[in-house]
Structure 1
């Protein structure tokens, strides 16, 4: 087991890759009672098309990663949640666009829930009947999210931006894709994505890491896994133009909501991607938050209320900036967004504002080192990205005005999609 010490942040973690390929990352927090363990596979909603190292392609319906997450909680001899509950532990899972994660938290002994986490994630126990039954449950869940205005606005924004990229689908897929999923597809998707060599286990607790590793080694040594070819996501060809430039829909809401999103190029290199995302986030906060002098005026003039914000998301093969607001003055909001992006494109930023934002983000990052949730998911994502846990913080700390200028050159006024949500009476 390798001990990794970061002197700057005074944090220590331990890492080991087992014979079956499972990578384990352990953080010891001696003064904490709570423990958290998470097992993650880089199978997310975007992994509809995959290819292994031998060149064999695998094509799956939208939502299959989320479907698998649901089915993993079935065991041959009982219910996973009930089993964890009897141990005094809480278990849960989530599927994102880039990963599926299973985790438990407890303030009690960790050995039994840790072994259970390893056991239930490493065995798929489903049949035709249970798969068909699950379809109705998942479709009902998808319909529930469609009734949430914020969630629907985001989904329609992605669907408007992307023509071919799987981001155009909801994480859970849609009615048709869920109905099309078969038992054989689930088993194949599980086989190629849930092999130990494709997964990482991250733990944060107060116990001696060597004792924890002993539990994990013993559990894994009693299992046999076939050799598996490495798997990765197939790249998608995506045009610069959005799938639809404007889209309007209605729901039972009081005030209209607007989303204005711009497509950006993806960034292959992980470190460069981190830097550009930090730089764009800094520009967004400098020009579209309470730090910008006109922002309070916009609020006072009721161009929008306190439901307002902006996001940046850069990936390997996609990128976007999104502005959103609840507003009765939709045209004025659009003008403000366009003017904001023009200012951002200049790359000009006050030195004091830059330092203020860097200190704010850095402080938030330092505080996150006390959040078990942040530690485990960031550790997993850094492992899959082949980068160090603290790289993002170090990159942020080194950003200067030239970096801001360079990132601003990547911004594009075109390639925009505007999505409007109107109250139903406005149909």
Structure 2
């Protein structure tokens, strides 16, 4: 170990609206590993935020020298920007710490992270698979979903301050600066899909197969949670529950497993309900120790308050190196990007323009689908089978606004 560095840091990245989750995660880590420094990378406009727990460090995203930060804050939505900054923040922290673990803000530690820190004594970089066994039913998520979104869940990674560890981060950082998009049709799943390549490209990358790591709705088909006589949480009665990942957490339904899945109905997993209750109580406690002027995402608006639509972000990104190459501050409503948005009516009227719609919302769009089906039937009749097939192949590619840079000249 380099004597000039501190032993270990555990960090997360979130915007102001997720601070209560991030603080709960940090507090859970301190409960079991008080030697690890918790750090929250706050990905938002700087504002007067305070947290009561002085042990937790707040690090603002604009202070880690991310290249073209304001341009990235405009082209990426809230999820894309948070994830794009992760490898750069890890490189930043490796200047001070020998070992760095990243955990998503909606994770929670139920026992020590020591097994993961010990793994870093033998390996340079750690990844965790979404699941350790196949999905054999017809529910979601399934194996096809993992092919779309990534074999590894990047709600966790760990790295050691070695040349090999930094090489992984530097490669990932370059990819995330340029292409950290949520665009499944283009094979991109923010920062996550890139890591499918890491074990092939780099030595020293280790796949963590501990069943107590990253326990979540995507692997509950192979894991059962229990509490032993000493009050310790276990997985499959053989391993400690190190941390759970409460992705797609339903704050209203105490018996729900997660919203973005169809495998487990509400109330069907009493074991998950127990850990969920512990997590919900921790969230309530952490929220009391946070003060912020607003939970609104600061990069959702132009300088005059106009709401930035997802379409505007994508059209800007498609022309960022052309029409807007000389624009220093795309948020300036009086500048070229503002004029472009007004000309093509690209501002949003929604309060949450960045809200994602998942696969379970498909049933809400029956009328729209019927209209599209009518148009496609007409196209099939007019074009014939062969040309219609090629049109559909092209539309799958062209459906991303990132591929429509010439549309609004």
TM-score (norm. length: structure 1): 0.29
* Structure showing greater relative contact order (alpha-carbon pairs closer than 8 Å, 6 or more residues apart): 1
TM-score (norm. length: structure 2): 0.29
